[in-house]
Every structure is written in structure tokens, then in C-alpha cells.
């Protein structure tokens, strides 16, 4: 487990009076008072080597503080910082990663409403703080640009607070949808609620836009939300001087569905289907990350049968190839190489067919379950995969011949969108983006889950950190994924057909584990567990109070933090580079907005 030990922080007890170090089963956390928070973060970053910012958010403890039983349980498991403080409603947490020693730590603090802003330490934190402001109404002191992250500016509520109901406050008359025409009473599914929650009007959007960007140059170009180059519904504002971009801002939230709020109201297995819809291009990897997180909380990781682990690993690597293929196709399409797009989609289709044959779904898969997988591999699945991996590398070589040494391709990619290693930490990027900058950060190696500890593969890294390096890294990752898939196939062929694919948990653990996961209670605990998605580290911070539903789930979306580097990269570049850089970051809006 990649967590720091208590002894690592013994020298910090002196300067920080309120510091408590707690080693839990799933996390190691530093509890500190709000006043000393910023200093502690600074020391951790500059002296202790916790340079990479992973995540920051807030847990609303309102319900726990009101119920004595839950509170006592939570205190007994020491997942609440400073339990003597029963007034401060919010518990903020910062998850940091030590790059040299490869371990994580969680910093926690409590607050009523305000927090100091850590935007000077990590730019990524600036975006995370905006999200917390949006969702919880936390005011950050010293934040340069505290505007809403997902909701529009005139929205009056803070949706992730516990006193905000799941269905929202129905306040507005819905136009036309529920109109009762000429006294007809609409029956069944046509009988809508007359009232509806807020939806933004055009004026609201205009106010939001105005608030984002102060025009400095000639034209403000609205790039998106519906634009073929933005890979989804992202809204960029470019302030243009001729074709040169002076400043950039991103307006997110076009696809915001409140997945984290939904998670609090769903059972652990039910939330699985929402992970599909976050990063819809790599649904299996997201499923896997979530399932592994819950298994770790339950402490049943070792009971998951080998077969299930290998199947999950194999399929999520296929999914990684699938996702990278879509990236390669659209990247080439953005740069004008139209043909590669169709080549990629042809191969992608074959992976989709394989996945469909095994799991029954093509896009939103939901195949893994807490404790294993939904069903066994069908007959002939391994042969299909083998025939695919056999020819895929040849196809890949063909495409590389079109692109990799192509002079135009080099001209468009070399030296464009350079992220130096220090900036990579500052902006909290992960996945191929950070590896393109030469940092071998890969969750599959740092904190191996499922069968990743047992298979052999290399982590490709770049040298310059430009778009071309990120391109090479992703291409190489596909080859490595093929390697992993081949090893998994070999292993699965050796396993007997009757081998179990779902966990049997011994009776004394008292865990009600079933395929549908109904009534599965997760003990009072917290965990930060992550998986390596094709786009970067997809982390789940889960806070449980022993119920059948999680108390709080914070998703660490890799695309969201990867995207935060975009305005920095776009400074003084032309519009043509906007597509190159955006495509090389490869965000998925379903995930940035959740």
C-alpha cells in the first residue's frame, strides 16, 4: 500500500502544535487546525517532497454530528479530525503524493465555512477549491478567482450539502412539458411534476461568461460548448489578438449530473453504473477502480478469486487500448489526417465486439462486481482476444508509418504544449500527460490492484513533455497493454474452466456479499483508492459510516485536473494549437463535469 507511515512525520510535531497523525486501515492522515493548514501544506510540498497534488474536497459532517451513534462510530474509527469540535460542520481533506518515496498522505482539517486557499501551492487546488465553493459554499480566503465550477453564477444553492435534497428544490414552473391541454389529464409516464428545479436561462449563461474573462485583446472567441474540436460539451473562451491567444478560460458543467450526490443515495453496487457514465470511453477501468476501492474497504481483496482478477485486468487493458484508439483517431482527425480516424475506429470496433461478447454491453459495461465479475468468460472469448492482439500490433505499425515520422506531424506536435515536470506537479496532471513529461507515475505500479502486481509491463515516459511525447507515450502504452492482455490470456487459459469468478467470504467476516450487492454494508471507515484510467489517476475517496450507502464519495477525475493545465499551455499560442493541445490532454467531459 502506498501510504506514508506515522514515523515520517515525527519531526513535524514540534512546529505544528495541533498536528495529529492517524494511521488507518485505508489511509494515513494528518489532522491539523485550519490556522496551521496552509503552513503544513507548504512544508509538505517543499520539505517533505509531497509535490504532486491529487485531490481536495470537503465532507459535510452535518448528519453525523446530529446522530450520536454514527458520531461515536466515526470517532472510534478516527475518521473525523478533532472530534471534540462538534460545531464545525465541514471536514476538508487534501490528498498529496510524495513523488520520490512513492507514498500518499491525507491532510484533514475542520471548518465552519471558510478555508485558506492553497492556490499558490498547486494550481490544481485552485480548481478543486472552486468546485468545493460551488458544491458546499466553502469560502476560500485569498482565492484569486472564486467563481462556480459547474453550476451557473446565479444558482442559489450548494448541492452537495447534506441539507440539499437529492431531487433539488422544485421551484420553477416547467414550460410546456407538463401543460395540461384542454383539460386532458395526462396519465402514466406523461404525468410530469408541474414544478421543476432551476435550469439556467441564456441570461444566466451570459452572466457566467462575463464573470470568467475580462477582455484584454481584440476578440473573445467562444470555442464550444458545441464545437467539433472540443471533444464534448466544453466551453472555452479565447481572448484573441489576431490568431494569437492572450488568455483562456474554461467554463465547465455542461454535462454536470451530480454523480457525487447520487453516490450518497445509492448502494455500493448501484453506484457502479454511474462510474460507467463518468469516463464513458473507459467504463471498465472506472468500474474496476470503484470495485477495488469497495473491496479494499471491506477488506476482502484477498478473497477475490484469481480468475476474476485476471479477467478484470485483461478487460480493462482492452478498454485502455479502446480508449487510446479513440484518442488517436480524433487526435489525427483534429490535425487533419482524416484517414487514421477510420482505421482506428475499425480496430476499435473489434474491441467493442469482443467486449460485447464477454460483457453484453459495448459502452456502459458495468461488468465487474464487488467481489469478482458478473459472469464467467464465454466460450471462445480468449481465442477472439488472441486473434485481435495478434494482428493489432501490425495495424498499429501501419498507422505509425503514416504519422510518427511524418514531417507535418512533427511540425505540428514538437515543441507544442510543453509541460515541464515541475509544472506537471503544480497542475496535478496524471496519466499519459505526466508520463509525457518524464515522470513515471503510474498507479498500476505504485499501488497495484487486481493482477497488475503479477503481470509484466513497462511504463513509457517522454522527455520534453510536449504533444509529441504524449503521443508517443500513448502509442507505447497501447503496445504495453497488448503485452498485459497476452499475459492475462495465457494465465486464464491455464486456469480450469470451473474456477470461481466470484468471491466466497468466510462466515466469520460477516459480510453479506452477493452478486447484486443489495444490503452490502461497508464498515465505518474511509479510503482513498485509485486506479489507472487511460486518462490518468481515477481516485475514489469514500467515507462510510457503516451503512448500505456511502456517506460521501469524492471522485478524483483525471480529466478535470489534466484540463486545468490547458489555460497555461494555451498562452501565446494560435487557435490551431488549441486543438493539438486539447486533444493531447484528451479530456472526457463526462468525467470533468461528472
Which positions touch other proteins (CB under 8 A)?
A: 219, 221-222, 227-229, 243, 332-339, 342-343, 346, 402-403, 406, 408-409, 411-412, 574-579
DSSP class of residue 363? S
Q: How far is the CB of 226 from other proteins (least distance, A)?
A: 10
Minimum distance of other proteins from residue 116's CB (angstroms): 40
- Write the DSSP string, 39-84: HHHHHHHHTS---EEEEEEEEE-HHHHH-HHHHHHHHHTT-SS-TT
Alpha carbons 588 and 30: distance in angstroms, whole number: 33
Of 201, 199, 255, 200, nearest in space to 230 by CA: 255
Taking the complex as a whole, the smallest distance from the CB of residue 337 to other proteins amounts, in Å, to 4
Q: Least distance in Å: CB of 248 to other proteins?
A: 14
Give the separation between CA 223 and CA 229, rounded to whole angstroms: 8
DSSP string spanning 522-586? --SEEEEEEEEETTEEEEEEEEE-SSSS-SEEEEE-HHHHHHTTHHHHHTT-BHHHHHHHHHHH-
Q: Which is nearer to other proteins, 300 or 581 (CB)?
A: 581
Q: How far apart are CA 75 and CA 247, in angstroms?
A: 47
CB of 519 to other proteins, least distance (A): 49
Dist. CA 295–CA 372, nearest whole Å: 10
Residue closer to other proteins by CB (options 157, 341) is 341
Q: In terms of CB distance, is 492 or 583 closer to other proteins?
A: 583
For the bound state, the minimum distance from the C-beta of residue 408 to other proteins, rounded and expressed in Å, comes to 5
Give yes or no for a contact between 175 and 195, defined as CB atoms under 8 angstroms apart: no
> By the 8 A CB rule, do 422 and 405 touch?
no
Rg (CA), the chain: 24
Closest CB to other proteins among 373 and 583?
Answer: 583
Whole-number Å distance between alpha carbons of 321 and 479: 9
User: Residue 182 or residue 407: which is nearer to other proteins going by CB?
Assistant: 407
Nearer to other proteins, 220 or 311 (CB): 220
99 or 245: CB nearest other proteins: 245
Smaller CB distance to other proteins: residue 232 or 517? 232
Whether residue 434 contacts residue 422, with contact meaning beta carbons closer than 8 Å, is answered with no
Q: How far apart are CA 66 and CA 60, in angstroms?
A: 12
SS3 128: helix
**CB 479 → other proteins: shortest distance, Å?**
22
Amino acid at each position: 500500500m502506498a501510504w506514508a507511515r506515522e514515523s515520517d512525520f515525527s519531526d513535524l510535531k514540534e512546529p505544528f502544535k495541533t498536528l495529529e497523525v492517524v494511521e488507518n486501515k485505508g489511509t494515513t492522515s494528518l489532522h491539523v487546525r485550519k490556522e496551521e493548514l496552509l503552513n503544513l501544506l507548504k512544508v509538505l510540498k517543499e520539505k517533505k517532497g509531497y509535490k504532486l497534488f491529487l485531490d481536495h474536497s470537503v465532507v459535510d459532517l452535518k448528519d453525523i454530528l446530529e446522530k450520536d451513534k454514527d458520531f461515536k462510530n466515526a470517532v472510534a474509527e478516527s475518521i473525523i479530525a478533532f472530534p471534540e469540535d462538534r460545531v464545525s460542520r465541514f471536514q476538508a481533506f487534501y490528498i498529496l503524493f510524495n513523488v520520490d518515496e512513492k507514498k500518499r498522505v491525507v491532510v484533514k482539517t475542520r471548518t465552519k465555512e471558510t478555508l485558506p486557499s492553497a492556490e499558490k501551492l498547486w494550481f490544481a487546488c485552485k480548481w478543486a477549491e472552486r468546485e468545493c465553493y460551488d458544491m458546499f459554499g466553502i469560502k476560500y480566503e485569498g482565492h484569486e478567482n472564486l467563481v462556480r465550477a459547474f453550476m451557473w453564477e446565479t444558482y442559489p444553492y450548494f448541492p452537495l450539502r447534506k441539507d440539499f435534497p437529492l431531487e433539488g428544490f422544485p421551484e420553477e414552473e416547467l414550460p410546456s412539458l407538463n401543460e395540461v391541454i384542454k383539460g386532458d389529464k395526462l396519465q402514466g409516464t406523461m404525468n410530469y411534476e408541474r414544478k421543476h428545479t432551476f435550469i439556467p436561462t441564456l441570461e444566466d449563461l451570459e452572466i457566467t461568461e462575463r464573470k470568467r474573462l475580462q477582455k484584454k485583446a481584440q476578440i473573445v472567441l467562444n470555442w464550444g460548448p458545441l464545437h467539433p474540436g472540443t471533444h464534448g460539451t466544453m466551453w472555452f473562451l479565447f481572448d484573441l489578438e489576431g490568431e494569437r491567444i492572450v488568455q483562456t478560460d474554461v467554463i465547465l458543467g455542461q454535462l454536470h449530473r451530480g454523480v457525487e450526490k447520487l453516490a450518497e443515495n445509492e448502494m455500493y453496487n448501484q453506484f457502479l453504473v454511474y462510474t460507467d457514465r463518468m469516463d464513458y470511453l473507459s467504463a471498465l477501468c472506472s468500474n474496476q477502480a470503484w470495485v477495488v476501492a469497495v473491496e479494499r474497504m471491506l477488506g476482502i481483496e484477498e478473497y477475490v478469486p484469481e480468475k476474476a482478477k485476471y479477467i478484470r485486468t485483461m478487460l480493462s487493458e482492452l478498454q485502455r487500448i479502446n480508449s487510446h484508439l479513440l484518442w488517436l483517431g480524433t487526435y489525427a482527425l483534429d490535425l487533419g489526417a482524416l484517414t487514421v480516424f477510420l482505421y482506428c475506429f475499425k480496430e476499435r470496433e473489434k474491441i467493442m465486439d469482443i467486449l460485447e461478447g464477454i460483457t453484453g454491453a459495448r459502452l456502459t459495461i458495468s461488468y465487474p462486481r464487488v467481489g469478482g465479475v458478473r459472469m464467467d468468460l464465454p466460450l471462445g472469448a480468449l481465442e477472439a482476444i488472441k486473434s485481435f492482439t495478434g494482428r493489432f500490433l501490425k495495424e498499429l505499425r501501419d498507422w505509425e508509418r503514416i504519422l510518427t515520422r511524418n514531417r507535418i506531424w512533427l511540425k505540428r506536435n514538437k515543441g507544442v504544449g510543453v509541460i515541464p515536470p515541475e509544472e506537471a506537479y503544480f497542475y496535478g496532471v496524471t496519466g499519459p500527460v505526466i508520463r509525457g513529461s518524464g515522470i513515471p507515475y503510474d498507479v498500476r505500479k505504485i499501488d497495484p490492484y487486481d493482477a497488475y502486481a503479477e503481470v509484466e509491463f513497462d511504463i513509457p515516459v517522454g522527455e520534453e513533455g510536449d504533444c509529441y511525447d504524449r503521443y508517443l507515450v500513448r502509442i507505447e502504452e497501447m503496445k504495453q497493454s497488448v503485452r498485459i492482455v497476452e499475459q492475462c490470456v495465457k494465465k486464464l487459459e491455464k486456469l480450469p474452466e470451473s474456477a470461481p469468478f466470484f468471491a466466497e467470504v468466510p462466515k466469520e467476516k460477516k459480510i453479506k456479499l452477493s452478486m447484486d450487492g443489495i444490503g452490502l454494508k461497508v464498515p465505518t471507515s474511509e479510503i482513498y483508492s485509485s486506479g489507472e484510467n487511460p486518462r490518468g489517476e481515477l481516485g475514489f475517496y469514500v467515507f462510510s459510516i457503516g451503512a448500505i450507502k456511502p456517506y460521501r464519495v469524492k471522485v478524483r477525475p483525471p480529466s478535470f485536473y489534466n484540463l486545468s493545465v490547458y489555460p497555461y499551455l494555451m498562452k501565446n499560442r494560435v487557435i490551431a494549437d488549441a486543438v493539438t493541445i486539447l486533444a493531447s490532454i484528451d479530456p472526457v467531459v463526462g468525467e470533468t463535469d461528472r
